[in-house]
């Protein structure tokens, strides 16, 4: 099925280009004709997934996001496309299977350009593992492999579980402690280059299929068939009438619909230089003392960093815009990972830290780590359809369930869901994905980091600007900054630093890049608005 013209897209119809001028045009058009099929509130992975699902089924769809795409939890994840092993360990078979299936869909069809197979190794260090724990982990890894097989994901994509010797372990994670090292157990999972980039790819693809995607637009007074939309840049308000309203606001779901009760849990990661662990190419998995199912991971990341995570802490009270890690979480993460490292990391090695809130459904007592990661689609007395819980990995299934519910309850005129076969912008098989244009040079001349972030949409980036780095030591190019404004809906420098790129994860990096980013953003916004 080819992209169709959106009701409000005008000259942008059929394109996945999001920019400030499109936003103005679509807000104007929505004000002129505010009757739509589906209003999606929230522009995280879930809301962007719902918008793509609905628009690709032919529904007149509008997504509103109060701040920016991926402003919430969707940018604070571990960036893993999980096969569900952890859920298997806690008996959540349905979630585990769903994760494995969705991982396969993402890695083979919808977003393979943004995901790589990541080896995850558990070092066999006798004092790190309790008696019998290695056997337990091996059994779990094999069960994960069985899930992969039943989900139909080929071993060529995610290699089978194996044991490797100490030398090979050191080659994959040079910083690992070697005294007593007897090798390691290795399993593979999917790893996104970045979570926020998945959200942007989803939103752009939704826009290409006709969805109106509006950032800096807050939904207020939301009920089952209407909402008041506030343009937070101008203060202008408009009322929309919708066949159905889907609340996909994650941890904010209870603010949009007060019948929803959540129990947010905070997860924290620390960022250290990859150099401090000898530039690992695999994730180091360290058991948390006293637990059979919890681990701390050291995950290699883009921009030369390793993320060490994660925690699982009750986070009651008002929802902050940007949750903050606590000192206790920092110490817990460093202490746990240091048990497996040759040279212990200290607070001085920590370049940055981030925390996110899991939108867990409140099921009463118990630790947040024990709350099911299953998603739920709930219709409230006001008629709002809320989709909440779940995982980044399972966003597509969550979106399908939410739209199915809206279609069933409100009789919306939708075709069947086909997002499992719909490649996102940049993925092989997407109509606009292209090999690099002649003259742009061989792939070798285009930074591998740019290809990892843009896939088959790299040609758009090459046309947007120069391939010189935005600041010394950063592999983000000036072209990517321009492209974020001209194609990815960035409206200011913070959108670019904190969400289109992840330069902002380390304050020193952001400080080095900010002036150049602000300059390019101002120039590109001028061009966009000038037509």
Ligand X SMILES: Cc1cc2nc3c(=O)[nH]c(=O)nc-3n(C[C@H](O)[C@H](O)[C@H](O)COP(=O)(O)OP(=O)(O)OC[C@H]3O[C@@H](n4cnc5c(N)ncnc54)[C@H](O)[C@@H]3O)c2cc1C
Write the interaction track for ligand X spanning residues 178-217; mark x where CB under 6 A is met and - where it is not. ----------------------------------------
**Between residues 45 and 506, which has the closer beta carbon with respect to ligand X?**
45
Report the SS3 class of residue 285.
strand
Q: How far is CA 458 from CA 69, 104, 524, in A?
A: 20, 24, 18
Applying CB under 6 A, which part among 32-40, 63-71, 420-428, 436-444 lies near ligand X?
63-71
Residues 217 and 202: their CA atoms lie apart, in Å, by: 18
Residues 356-385 that bind ligand X (CB under 6 A): 356-359
Residues 23 and 531: their CA atoms lie apart, in Å, by: 13
Is 16 a binding residue for ligand X by CB under 6 A? The answer is no
Residues 58 and 368: their CA atoms lie apart, in Å, by: 39
The token pair that represents 157 in the structure block: 């994509």
**Between residues 51 and 520, which has the closer beta carbon with respect to ligand X?**
51
Closest CA to 64 of 34, 87, 92: 34
Residues 480 and 470: their CA atoms lie apart, in Å, by: 9
Please, what's the largest Cα pairwise distance for the chain?
71
**Least gap, CB of 261 to ligand X (angstroms):** 16
**Between residues 177 and 197, which has the closer beta carbon with respect to ligand X?**
197
**Least gap, CB of 315 to ligand X (angstroms):** 9
Is 41 a binding residue for ligand X by CB under 6 A? The answer is yes
Is 391 a binding residue for ligand X by CB under 6 A? The answer is yes
Contact 157, 163 (CB under 8 A): no
Contact 382, 259 (CB under 8 A): yes
Is 125 a binding residue for ligand X by CB under 6 A? The answer is no
**Between residues 202 and 464, which has the closer beta carbon with respect to ligand X?**
202
Is 47 a binding residue for ligand X by CB under 6 A? The answer is yes
**Between residues 243 and 356, which has the closer beta carbon with respect to ligand X?**
356
Instruction: Please select the residue that binds ligand X; options are 109, 218, 294, 330, rule is CB under 6 A.
Output: 218
Instruction: Please select the residue that binds ligand X; options are 61, 169, 212, 249, rule is CB under 6 A.
Output: 249
**Least gap, CB of 67 to ligand X (angstroms):** 5
Per-state percent for the chain, helix, strand, coil, to nearest 5: 40, 20, 40
**Between residues 393 and 501, which has the closer beta carbon with respect to ligand X?**
393
DSSP 63-123: EEESS-TT-SGGGSS--EE--SHHHHHTT-HHHHHHHHHHHHHIIIIISGGGEEEEEEEEE
Residues 48 and 69: their CA atoms lie apart, in Å, by: 8
The token pair that represents 330 in the structure block: 């920092």
**Least gap, CB of 392 to ligand X (angstroms):** 3
Applying CB under 6 A, which part among 31-39, 71-79, 164-172, 477-485 lies near ligand X?
71-79
Is 45 a binding residue for ligand X by CB under 6 A? The answer is yes
Contact 347, 330 (CB under 8 A): yes
Residues 388 and 411: their CA atoms lie apart, in Å, by: 22
Is 262 a binding residue for ligand X by CB under 6 A? The answer is no
Write the interaction track for ligand X spanning residues 310-329; mark x where CB under 6 A is met and - where it is not. x-------------------
Is 300 a binding residue for ligand X by CB under 6 A? The answer is no
Residues 153 and 194: their CA atoms lie apart, in Å, by: 22
Runs of H (alpha helix) within 455-506 = 458-464, 478-486, 493-495
Closest CA to 106 of 453, 432, 396: 396
Is 72 a binding residue for ligand X by CB under 6 A? The answer is yes
**Between residues 209 and 252, which has the closer beta carbon with respect to ligand X?**
252
**Between residues 359 and 465, which has the closer beta carbon with respect to ligand X?**
359
**Least gap, CB of 323 to ligand X (angstroms):** 8
Instruction: Please select the residue that binds ligand X; options are 121, 203, 211, 219, rule is CB under 6 A.
Output: 219
**Least gap, CB of 116 to ligand X (angstroms):** 14
Contact 223, 242 (CB under 8 A): no
By CB under 6 A, the count of residues binding ligand X is 39
Instruction: Please select the residue that binds ligand X; options are 26, 37, 65, 189, rule is CB under 6 A.
Output: 65
**Least gap, CB of 476 to ligand X (angstroms):** 22
The token pair that represents 225 in the structure block: 């068939």
**Between residues 178 and 258, which has the closer beta carbon with respect to ligand X?**
258
Closest CA to 42 of 20, 78, 23, 70: 70
Interface residue list for ligand X (CB under 6 A): 41-47, 64-67, 71-74, 76-80, 82, 218-219, 248-252, 256, 267, 310, 356-359, 390-393
């Amino acid at each position: 099925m080819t992209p169709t013209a959106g009701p409000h897209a005008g000259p942008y119809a059929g394109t996945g280009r999001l920019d400030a001028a499109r936003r103005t045009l679509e807000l104007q058009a929505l004000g002129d004709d505010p009757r739509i099929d589906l209003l999606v509130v929230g522009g995280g992975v879930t809301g962007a997934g719902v918008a793509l699902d609905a628009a690709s089924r032919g529904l007149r769809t509008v997504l509103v996001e109060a701040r920016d795409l991926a402003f919430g939890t969707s940018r604070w994840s571990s960036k893993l496309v999980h096969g569900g092993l952890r859920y298997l360990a806690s008996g959540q078979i349905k979630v585990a299977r769903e994760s494995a299936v969705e991982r396969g869909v993402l890695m083979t069809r919808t977003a393979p350009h943004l995901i790589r197979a990541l080896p995850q190794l558990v070092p066999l260090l006798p004092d790190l593992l309790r008696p019998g724990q290695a056997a337990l982990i091996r059994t779990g890894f094999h069960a994960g492999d069985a899930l992969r097989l039943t989900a139909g994901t080929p071993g060529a994509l995610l290699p089978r579980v194996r044991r490797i010797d100490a030398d090979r372990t050191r080659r994959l994670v040079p910083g690992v402690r070697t005294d007593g090292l007897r090798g390691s157990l290795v399993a593979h999972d999917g790893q996104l280059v970045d979570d926020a980039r998945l959200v942007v790819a989803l939103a752009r693809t939704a826009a290409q299929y006709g969805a109106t995607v509006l950032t800096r637009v807050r939904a207020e007074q939301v009920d089952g068939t209407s909402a008041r939309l506030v343009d937070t840049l101008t203060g202008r308000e408009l009322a929309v009438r919708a066949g159905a309203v889907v609340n996909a606001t994650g941890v904010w779901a209870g603010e949009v619909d007060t019948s929803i009760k959540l129990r947010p849990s905070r997860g924290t990661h620390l960022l250290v230089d990859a150099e401090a662990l000898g530039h690992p190419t695999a994730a180091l998995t360290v058991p948390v003392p006293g637990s059979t199912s919890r681990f701390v991971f050291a995950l290699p990341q883009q921009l030369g960093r390793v993320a060490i995570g994660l925690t699982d802490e009750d986070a009651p009270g008002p929802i902050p815009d940007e949750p903050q890690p606590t000192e206790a979480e920092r110490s817990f993460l460093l202490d746990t990972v240091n048990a497996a490292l040759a040279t212990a990391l200290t607070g001085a090695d920590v370049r940055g830290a981030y925390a996110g809130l899991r939108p867990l459904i409140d099921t009463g007592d118990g630790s947040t780590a024990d709350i099911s990661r299953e998603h739920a689609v709930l219709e409230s007395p006001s008629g709002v359809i809320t989709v909440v819980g779940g995982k980044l990995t399972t966003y597509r299934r969550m979106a399908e369930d939410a739209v199915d519910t809206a279609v069933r309850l409100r009789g919306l005129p939708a075709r069947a869901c086909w997002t499992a076969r719909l490649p996102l912008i940049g993925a092989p098989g997407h109509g606009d994905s292209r090999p690099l244009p002649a003259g742009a040079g061989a792939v070798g001349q285009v930074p591998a980091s740019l290809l990892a972030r843009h896939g088959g949409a790299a040609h758009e980036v090459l046309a947007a600007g120069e391939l010189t780095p935005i600041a010394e030591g950063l592999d983000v190019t000036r072209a990517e900054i321009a492209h974020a404004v001209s194609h990815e809906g960035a409206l200011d420098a913070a959108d670019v630093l904190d969400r289109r790129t992840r330069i902002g994860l380390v304050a020193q990096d952001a400080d080095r890049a900010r002036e150049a980013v602000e300059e390019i953003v101002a120039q590109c916004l001028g061009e966009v608005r000038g037509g």
